[in-house]
Structure 1
Amino acid sequence: MSGHIDEVDLKLLEELRENARENIASLSKKLKIPRTTVHYRIKKLVDEGVIEKFTIKPNYKKLDLGTTAFILARYDPDSGINQREVARRVAALDGVYEVHIITGEWDLLIKVRARNSEEIGKIVIDRLREIKGISQTVTMVSFVSVKEEI
């Protein structure tokens, strides 16, 4: 990164993480810095790739996707397919929101959302386990999300 991130930038990022739609005047007041400075700093953070995009946080329950599950998956090295390619194929499935290649006993951590646990089961059994390179899965349904970043 070409620029230096200081305390003001970090505070600005935190405010934007809470509400990316907050207007510059309000941010200026909260951070006690001029509006032009807020505007300049946001532009700088975007230009330098610190802020990749501004987004929304959907209410998944209202979208009828109120059930979240985390799936651990094992990669089969004898499958003839690269682990990164397996992860890309998993990421392309409907209902998959995150895919992480991880260390330890398991190789992938997958976050999925669906209407209910039956739909989660369909994702796992009918789609995920059909991907070449996936050898085993363990599914954990979330009871409640206490904290979730976008």
Structure 2
Amino acid sequence: MGHVVQHVYNKIKKGEEAVSTFSELLRRHCLRTIPRIICQCCNNFNVKLDSKDVEILRILQKNCRLSAKEIAEKIKSPISTVYAKIRRMEKLKVILGYRAILNAKELGRGTTAFILASVAYRVPGSKEPLSQVEIAEKIALFPEVQEVHIISGNWDLLIKVKAKDVDEVGEFVVDKLRKVEGIEKTLTCMVFKTAKETTEIPIFRERGA
């Protein structure tokens, strides 16, 4: 931020800005500068991807069963280029795998719950504090669990569960989750209706790519 202040000060000395106060000039300059910085950050990847890579990823997220030939036709590139780009992104672990998306309701697992859990890091009889990561990994082994996240705030873990019905969610919480060493208390949030549930990652193309 120091370079912004210096830039504003230089403008005042040169008389390039007709603004009565330094603070107002600084505010105006920041409003012009910060959006550009945010835009640049949003368009940066951890790996180098060009516009064709991004197009391929968007297509595969919609339908990963398409052949290299079909993708090549959509993005107007040679099949060999598409094949090479996909293999490269697999090696870079940009693409982690290809999976079928199942209909949980039709398979009798249409009830979703998000469970907040707090962790007691010290339990009676234990000399060493419990590991939050190890507790999360134990919970992740339960077949009902789809996601486990270590989070900030008043709770330590956020757990997503798919079950047959509310009773099964209750059985999971009482008979499994609360028996995990270190779990202190839980709060279960039942999902009434899902407006969006996706595995797609929003991808922004790099500027100039």
The normalised TM-score by structure 2 is: 0.68
Q: Secondary structure at the match of 1:140?
A: strand
Higher alpha-carbon Rg: 2
2:160 alignment partner, one of 111, 123, 147: 111
The answer to whether residue 114 in structure 2 is matched with residue 70 in structure 1 is: yes
1:147 alignment partner, one of 167, 173, 196: 196
CA shift for structure 1 position 17 = 0.9
| d(CA) in 2 for partners of 1:119, 1:25 | 45
Amino acid at match of 2:88: K
1:22 alignment partner, one of 53, 66, 73: 66
Match of 1:101 in 2: 150
Match of 2:176 in 1: 127
CA shift for structure 1 position 2 = 9.2
Q: Secondary structure at the match of 2:122?
A: helix
1:83 alignment partner, one of 132, 146, 162: 132
The structure that is strand-richer by fraction is 1
Per-residue deviation, residues 93-135 of structure 1 (Å, max 9, x unmatched): 1200100001111110100000011101111111001101110
| d(CA) in 2 for partners of 1:73, 1:84 | 13
Amino acid at match of 1:116: D
| d(CA) in 1 for partners of 2:151, 2:46 | 30
| d(CA) in 2 for partners of 1:140, 1:101 | 17
Gaps of 5+ in 1: none
Gaps of 5+ in 2: 1-44, 124-128, 200-209
**Superposition RMSD in Å:** 1.6
Superposed structure 1 runs of 4+ greater than 4 Å apart? none
Deviation larger for 39-48 or 76-85: 76-85
The answer to whether residue 187 in structure 2 is matched with residue 138 in structure 1 is: yes
Match of 2:52 in 1: 8
Per-residue deviation, residues 43-99 of structure 1 (Å, max 9, x unmatched): 000011111111111111111100011001101111342111100111011200100
The normalised TM-score by structure 1 is: 0.94
Q: Secondary structure at the match of 1:112?
A: strand
Instruction: Summarize the Cα distance change of 1:131–1:19 in structure 2 as closer, same or farther, 3 Å threshold.
Output: same
Q: Secondary structure at the match of 2:152?
A: coil
CA shift for structure 1 position 144 = 2.2
The answer to whether residue 36 in structure 2 is matched with residue 36 in structure 1 is: no
| d(CA) in 2 for partners of 1:116, 1:20 | 31
